[in-house]
Structure 1
Amino acid sequence: MTTSPRRPMMISAGVMAVMAVVSLGGLVFDDRILLGAPIWLKPFKFALSIGIYFLTWGWLSSLLTVRQRLVARVSAVVIGLLGVEYAILITQVIRGRASHFNVSTTFDRLLYLIMGGSIAVIWTGTLVLTVLLFHTPIADTASRLAIRWGALISLIGIGLGGLMLVPTSQQRASAVHQVIGAHSVGVPDGGPVMAVTGWSTTGGDLRIPHFAGMHALQVLPLLAMLLGFLARRFPRLRPDRTRGRLTAIATAAYAGLVALVTWQAERGQPFIHPDGLTLSAFGLLAAATLGAATLVIARGPAGTTVPEPARHTEMAR
C-alpha cells in the first residue's frame, strides 16, 4: 500500500510553524542586522512561506487520484530538499553570513550552490505534481480552474526567483566576486526597505513577483471557495458555469498582476512608488477585470439552482 504524502506534508508544516516561533524569538532577542534587515527576518519569512507550501500541497495531495506512488516519492524529495534549504539558511544566520548570492568564501559558495541545486529539483518536483493535478478530475468548474491554474502560476512564480540569480552590471564589471545576483534592481541590496516584507523602497525588488506568483496557489482556490459560499446567498452565482467564468477572469487578472509587478521590478521601480505608466497599466487591468466580471454576472441566469452534490467543491475532500 502506498503511503499518502499528506501526513508527511502536514508534519513538515508543523515543523515550519515551530521554526517561525523560533525565528520570532531571534527577532526579539538577537539584534544583529544583515543587509539592512534583522538577521532573523529571512528565516521567519521562509518558515511561513515553506509552511504554507506544505499545507497547500498536503491538501492537494488528497485530491490526486493518479500515480499515487509517484506523488509520494516526489513529495518526499521536495520535503527533504526544502528541509536542506532551511537548514542552510539557519546555519548562515548563526554564522552571521548571507545565505543567498554569497560566494565570498569556498564554504559560502558551496552552501549557495547546494541551495540552488535544491531549488531546481524542488521546482521540477512541483512541476510533476502540477501536471498530475491537470490529470485529476475535479467536478466543480471553479475549483478545477482555481487549483490547476493556481498551481501553474505558482510554478511560474517559483521560476521567477531565477531572475535574482542574474549578476548585476556592477558584479559583471568586478574582477572579484563576493556576491552574484541580487534582490534589488537599480539600487544595491541593503538599502531602505518596507517593514515586515523587507522589499526595497528605493528600487525594484524581484522578490515581489516571486512572492505574488508563488501564492496564486492559495489565493485562487480561496476565491473559488468564497464564490461557493456566496452562491448560497446570491442566486446569480449558483450556476457552475457562472462561477467557472468568474474564476477564469480572476485567474487571468492574477496572471496579469504577476506580469505587471515583474515589469515594474525589472524597471527598477519601487513597489510603493509606481509611476504613471505602472498606474495606468494597473488601472486598465482592474477595469478589464471588473468589466468582464460584471458582464458575466449580469448575463448569468438568475435564480438557477444546481444539484446538491455540485454545490460542494472538491476542496472539501
Structure 2
Amino acid sequence: MTSLLERYPALSWHRPLMLLAVAMTALAGWSLAGLVVDDRTLTGLPIWAKSGKFAVSVVIYAVTWAWLIAQLTRWRRIAWWAGTIAALGLALELVIIVTQIVRGTTSHFNISTPLNAALWTTMGSTIMVVWLATLVVSAALFVNPTADHARNAAIRWGTVLALVGAALGLSMTRETPQQRASGGSISGAHTVGLSDGGPGLPLLGWSTAGGDLRVPHFIGMHALQVIPLVLIALELAARRIPVLRSMQARRTLVVIAAATYGAVLAVLTWQALRGQSVVRPDAVTLLAFGAIAVAAIGVLLYLLIRATKAPVPNRSVPMEA
C-alpha cells in the first residue's frame, strides 16, 4: 500500500506545518458550512467568518514556510524546531478562536471574564512566540543563499516585509485611552477612530468608516507570497523578453517591486493610524500613492531605456525549472 508520503511528497517538507495546513483546510471547510447553517453574527460579521479567514491565512503561511524550510542546507535543524513551535502556536490560537465561536463570544481583545481574559492573554503570548519562531526561520533563509541572486532577493525581501506585517498586528493589542478610562471589558482594537464592529467590507470586515490596522497587517504578512510571485512572472516572461534572461535584471526588478510594496505598506499603515478607511482615501493619501506609482514607473522606464541601449548578453544565467 502506497504511503501518504509517497502519494503526497509535500507532506515531507515540514511535517508539523503541513499537518497544520491539512487541519486548517478542514477548518476552512467547516467554517464555510458554519456560514451556511449558523446565522449568528459577532461584531457585525457571521460568527464563523473569523475562523474561516484565519484558517485560510494559516494554510498559506504553513505551506510557504514548510517549503522554504525544506530548501535549507544550513541551520535546517534549528529552522525545523522553529517551524514546529510556530505550528503548535498557530494551532493553539485557532483552538481558542473556535472555542470562543462555539461559546458565542469574541476571542480577540476580550477581557470580560477571567476565562476570556486568560484565553486572550494566551493568544497574545502565543502569537509573539510564533513571530519569534518565524524570525529564526527567516534568519536561516538569509544564511542559505542560492546561486540565483534574484531568488535570494525575492525570498529575503519577502520575509522582511512579512515580519513587519506580522509585527503590525501587535499594535492592535494595546489598550486605547478610551478603554483605559472606561475600564471596560475590551482591551485592544483593530479599528482606529471608532469602536470595532461598525460597517465593513463583506467577509473581510475591514472598516469602511474608520482606519483598520488589519489592512496593513494582512498586506504585509503576505509579501512572502507576492514578491516571489513577481519573480516567477519575470522568469516566465524571460522566455519571450531577452533582457529578462539576465539574472541581474530580474534581481533589480524584484528589488523595485519589493521597495514599492514596502512603500505601499507604509502608506496603508499611516492611513489606518490616521483613522481613515482604506476605501475612503483623502487627497493626501492619494497623493502618497501617486508618488509611489510615479517613482516606480520612473525607475522602470529609466532601466528600460538603459537596457535598450545596452547590448544583450550572449550568455545568460540558466534559470531553474
Q: TM-score, normalised by structure 2?
A: 0.93
8 Å Cα contact 1:240-1:306 kept in structure 2: no
- Relative to structure 1, the CA distance from residue 237 to residue 169 in structure 2 (aligned partners, 3 Å threshold; closer, same or farther) is same
- Report the counterpart of residue 156 of structure 2 in structure 1: 148
- Relative to structure 1, the CA distance from residue 168 to residue 306 in structure 2 (aligned partners, 3 Å threshold; closer, same or farther) is farther
The answer on 1:202 being equivalent to 2:205 is no
Cα drift, residue 59 of structure 1: 1.1
- Report the counterpart of residue 220 of structure 1 in structure 2: 227
- Report the counterpart of residue 51 of structure 1 in structure 2: 59
CA distance in 2, matches of 1:133, 1:28: 42
- Report the counterpart of residue 84 of structure 2 in structure 1: 76
CA deviation map 1:27-84 (0-9, x unaligned): 1111101011111110000000000000100111122111222112111111111100
CA distance in 1, matches of 2:188, 2:13: 35
CA deviation map 1:261-289 (0-9, x unaligned): 00000000000000000000000001101
8 Å Cα contact 2:247-2:316 kept in structure 1: no
Matches within 5 A, 1:184-263: 184-263=191-270
CA deviation map 1:117-168 (0-9, x unaligned): 1001000000001111111121212211110110011011110001111222
- Report the counterpart of residue 127 of structure 1 in structure 2: 135
| Secondary structure in structure 2 of the residue aligned to 1:100 | coil
CA deviation map 1:161-202 (0-9, x unaligned): 01111222210211x330001010011111100112110000
CA distance in 2, matches of 1:249, 1:264: 22
| Secondary structure in structure 2 of the residue aligned to 1:244 | helix
Q: Deviation above 6 Å: which 4+ runs of structure 1?
A: none
Matches within 5 A, 1:1-317: 6-174=14-182, 176-300=183-307, 301=310, 303-307=312-316, 310-312=318-320
- Relative to structure 1, the CA distance from residue 292 to residue 88 in structure 2 (aligned partners, 3 Å threshold; closer, same or farther) is same
Cα drift, residue 11 of structure 1: 2.3
| Secondary structure in structure 1 of the residue aligned to 2:147 | coil
8 Å Cα contact 1:246-1:296 kept in structure 2: no
| Paired AA for residue 169 in structure 2 | G
Cα drift, residue 4 of structure 1: 6.3
Cα drift, residue 302 of structure 1: 5.5
% identical aligned pairs: 46
- Relative to structure 1, the CA distance from residue 4 to residue 68 in structure 2 (aligned partners, 3 Å threshold; closer, same or farther) is farther
Q: CA RMSD in A?
A: 1.4
Q: Is 202-211 or 74-83 further displaced after alignment?
A: 74-83
| Paired AA for residue 107 in structure 2 | S
Higher relative contact order (CA 8 A, sep 6+): 1
CA distance in 2, matches of 1:272, 1:199: 9
CA distance in 1, matches of 2:105, 2:315: 58
CA distance in 2, matches of 1:294, 1:139: 28
| Secondary structure in structure 1 of the residue aligned to 2:277 | coil
Cα drift, residue 307 of structure 1: 4.4
Cα drift, residue 304 of structure 1: 3.0
CA distance in 2, matches of 1:37, 1:5: 36
CA distance in 2, matches of 1:153, 1:259: 11
Tell me the number of residue pairs that the alignment of Structure 1 and Structure 2 aligns: 309
CA distance in 1, matches of 2:189, 2:20: 29
Cα drift, residue 99 of structure 1: 0.3
8 Å Cα contact 1:141-1:241 kept in structure 2: yes
| Secondary structure in structure 2 of the residue aligned to 1:180 | coil
CA distance in 2, matches of 1:237, 1:207: 35
Q: Which residues of structure 1 form unaligned runs of 5+?
A: none
| Paired AA for residue 225 in structure 1 | I
| Paired AA for residue 290 in structure 2 | G
CA distance in 1, matches of 2:241, 2:130: 41
CA distance in 2, matches of 1:263, 1:305: 46
CA deviation map 1:85-132 (0-9, x unaligned): 000000000000100000000000000011011001000000001111
Q: Which residues of structure 2 form unaligned runs of 5+?
A: 1-10
8 Å Cα contact 1:237-1:297 kept in structure 2: no
- Relative to structure 1, the CA distance from residue 52 to residue 74 in structure 2 (aligned partners, 3 Å threshold; closer, same or farther) is same
CA distance in 2, matches of 1:134, 1:298: 33
Cα drift, residue 298 of structure 1: 2.5
| Paired AA for residue 179 in structure 1 | I
